[in-house]
């Protein structure tokens, strides 16, 4: 049965940030060409989605409104491919505004573009303000999200006369993981996947728990070894003050709104500061951005310059954290618990309702037991073992994590039986070593982007892009065009 597609509609001409900048290679130019409009026009729509795809008696066979964004002004109707972004842990507009490569490629390959919002994020709240109560939150799973995308794709292809149009899925970070999983679970719908910065191995519990913060440290060390030494010394000064309970001095040096009074406050301060360095390493783009907050160009370099400015290491540490937490320079003080929330993801869950959703996912299927140790990294020793995760998650959500489930459910590192997936990673991205770094077959291709931060290749083209990402996008474009052509040949041969 056909579902109601439109509940609310907004039609805009999207002015992408850092998108459509005039690429160094002409076939990605997103301007008027031969009289054709080359700017993406986005329509915001809602789809009546099934609440529980796997239990027919659950929730009274209820539905909810799932938001998605549609760009159809490039599409050769009924023939061009469908480029489908598997939305991840946040408002879908933020990912659309920071994934301009997809629309550039759509303009080249005359594709229909869909950005789908993940259930329990943004405006796709199944139960409104009650979405994060127990047991409602139990419907937030990877499997339910993938089924949402499969149903949405199937219905839209029917309604838009696109049943013969090959589908390529795109995603970055967790969204990249979902793109891989869509190709694995629904190969009848999805022809291929571009998974950018997708840590499908580390989030399945495979790898070294110290690797992530070691790689964050390496990013800063590459800029200047004395930078990481300064960070270590600053944290050591902070520890000495905390050990001697000189909390008022910590407050004045770091401009905290309230003085810490306990070991828990000091731990939270360490986490807040570590999170600032993590975000700068992830978002170390060669130009200023607004994604997960405002960030200057080359933030790791800016941070190191700040850490090495003068002899007051705690003031330098405060100002370096301010690159993330006080981008406008208007904060009079840092609210320790207002700027950062400790959760089941040691790399940070963000703030607001989206942080609740991600915390729950990190407590169930997605394993992120990453630790800093002050030996292989520059941060204070902050453990987060599987037992720590279990204790926190049971206390917070009443659940016990399943640390091996993603590995069991989604092939782990045994991916050779699938096909048509690009795994792209930048060497500046601390998530990179949690993903696939070596090609597994001619159609399971790993692209390693020198000078690339977190899914840089999904961003729109920019004059400051390194040559490596320009080459990576060309490779991605060629592989995707090949997959689309092969799928058309296969469909023509089918009875």
Q: How far is CA 216 from the centre of its chain?
A: 16
Which of 99, 124, 131, 173 is an active site residue?
Answer: 173
The pLDDT tens digits of the residues spanning 407-453 come to 999 988 889 889 999 999 999 999 999 999 999 999 999 999 999 99
Closest C-alpha to 286, from 456, 139, 59, 431: 456
Sign of the CA dihedral running 448, 450, 453, 455: negative
The pLDDT tens digits of the residues spanning 379-401 come to 999 999 999 999 999 999 999 99
Contact 344, 362 (CB under 8 A): yes
Which of 148, 219, 377, 429 is an active site residue?
Answer: 429
- Helix (H), strand (E) counts: the chain: 15, 11
The pLDDT value given to residue 28: 36
The pLDDT value given to residue 15: 33
Quick check: 251 pLDDT over 60?
A: yes
The pLDDT value given to residue 492: 85
**Using CA atoms, how far apart are residues 428 and 416, in angstroms rounded to an integer?**
27
Question: What is the b/e burial string over 270-286, where b = at least 16 CB atoms within 10 angstroms of the residue's CB?
Answer: bbbbbbbbbbbbbbbbb
**Using CA atoms, how far apart are residues 436 and 195, in angstroms rounded to an integer?**
10
To the question of domain 43-205+407-493 being in CATH 3.40.50.1820, the answer is yes
Quick check: 477 pLDDT over 80?
A: yes
- 52 has catalytic annotation: no
The pLDDT tens digits of the residues spanning 312-346 come to 999 999 999 999 999 888 899 999 999 999 999 99
Q: How far from 145 is each of 138, 151, 185, CA to CA, in Å?
A: 12, 10, 12
Q: What ranges in 133-224 are assigned the alpha helix state H? A: 142-159, 174-185, 211-223
Contact 380, 270 (CB under 8 A): yes
Which of 21, 118, 454, 455 is an active site residue?
Answer: 454
- 429 has catalytic annotation: yes
Which burial class, exposed, middle or buried, applies to 57 when counting CB atoms under 10 A from its CB (0-12, 13-18, 19+)? exposed
- Domain boundaries, given as residue ranges, for the chain: 43-205+407-493, 210-402
Q: How far is CA 2 from the centre of its chain?
A: 32
Mean pLDDT of 232-256: 96
- H or E element at residue 250: helix 247-254
Q: How far from 4 is each of 58, 63, 153, 421, CA to CA, in Å?
A: 21, 11, 14, 32
The pLDDT value given to residue 399: 96
Mean pLDDT of 271-285: 97
To the question of domain 210-402 being in CATH 3.40.309.10, the answer is no
Query: Which residue's entry shows tokens 């951005």?
Result: 289
- Show the CA angle centred on residue 354, arms to residues 207 and 195, nearest 5°: 45
Let me know how long the chain is. Answer: 495
The pLDDT tens digits of the residues spanning 51-109 come to 999 998 887 789 999 999 999 999 999 999 999 999 999 999 999 999 999 999 999 99
Structure tokens at 178: 């979902």
Q: Is 329 helix (H, G, I), strand (E, B) or coil?
A: coil
Closest C-alpha to 368, from 174, 183, 138, 147: 174
The pLDDT value given to residue 37: 57
Contact 376, 210 (CB under 8 A): yes
**Using CA atoms, how far apart are residues 76 and 69, in angstroms rounded to an integer?**
18
Query: Which residue's entry shows tokens 């490596």?
Result: 468
pLDDT-based confidence at residue 14 (cuts at 50, 70, 90): very low
Structure tokens at 47: 């789809």
Structure tokens at 358: 């991600």
């Amino acid at each position: 049965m056909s579902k109601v597609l439109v509940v609310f509609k907004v039609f805009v001409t999207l002015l992408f940030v850092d998108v459509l900048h005039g690429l160094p290679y002409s076939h990605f130019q997103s301007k008027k060409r031969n009289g054709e409009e080359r700017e993406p026009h986005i329509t915001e729509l809602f789809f009546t989605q099934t609440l529980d795809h796997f239990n027919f008696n659950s929730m009274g066979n209820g539905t909810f409104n799932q938001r998605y964004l549609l760009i159809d002004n490039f599409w050769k109707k009924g023939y061009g491919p469908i480029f489908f972004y598997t939305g991840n842990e946040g408002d879908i507009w933020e990912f659309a505004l920071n994934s301009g490569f997809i629309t550039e490629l759509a303009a080249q390959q005359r594709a229909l573009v869909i950005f789908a919002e993940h259930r329990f994020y943004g405006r796709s709240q199944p139960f409104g303000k009650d979405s994060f109560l127990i047991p409602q939150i139990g419907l937030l799973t990877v499997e339910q999200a993938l089924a949402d995308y499969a149903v949405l794709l199937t219905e839209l292809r029917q309604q838009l006369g696109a049943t013969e149009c090959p589908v390529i899925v795109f995603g970055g970070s967790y969204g990249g993981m979902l793109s891989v999983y869509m190709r694995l679970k629904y190969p009848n719908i999805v022809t291929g996947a571009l998974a950018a910065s997708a840590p499908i191995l580390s989030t399945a519990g495979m790898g070294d728990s110290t690797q992530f913060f070691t790689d964050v440290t390496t990013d800063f060390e590459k800029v200047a070894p004395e930078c990481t030494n300064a960070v270590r010394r600053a944290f050591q000064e902070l520890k000495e003050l905390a050990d001697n309970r000189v909390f008022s001095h910590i407050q004045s040096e770091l401009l905290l709104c309230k003085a810490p009074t306990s070991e828990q406050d000091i731990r939270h301060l360490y986490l807040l500061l570590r999170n600032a360095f993590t975000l700068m390493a992830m978002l170390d783009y060669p130009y200023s951005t607004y994604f997960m907050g405002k960030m200057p160009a080359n933030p790791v370099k800016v941070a190191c310059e700040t850490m090495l400015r003068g002899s007051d290491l705690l003031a330098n540490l405060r100002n370096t954290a301010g690159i993330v937490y006080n981008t406008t320079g208007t904060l009079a003080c840092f609210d320790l618990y207002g700027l950062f929330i400790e959760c089941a993801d040691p790399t940070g869950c963000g703030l607001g309702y989206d942080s609740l959703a991600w915390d729950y996912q990190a407590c169930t299927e997605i394993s992120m037991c990453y630790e800093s140790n002050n030996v292989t990294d520059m941060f204070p020793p902050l453990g987060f073992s599987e037992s720590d995760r279990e204790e926190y998650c049971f206390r917070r959500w009443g659940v016990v994590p399943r640390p091996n489930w993603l590995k069991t459910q989604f092939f782990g590192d045994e991916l050779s039986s699938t096909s048509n997936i690009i795994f792209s990673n930048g060497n500046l991205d601390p998530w990179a070593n949690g993903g696939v770094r070596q090609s597994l077959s001619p159609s399971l291709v790993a692209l390693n982007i020198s000078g690339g931060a977190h899914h840089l290749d999904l961003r729109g083209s920019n004059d400051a892009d390194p040559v490596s990402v320009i080459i990576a996008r060309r490779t991605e474009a060629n592989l995707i065009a090949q997959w689309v052509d092969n799928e058309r040949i296969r469909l023509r041969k089918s009875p």
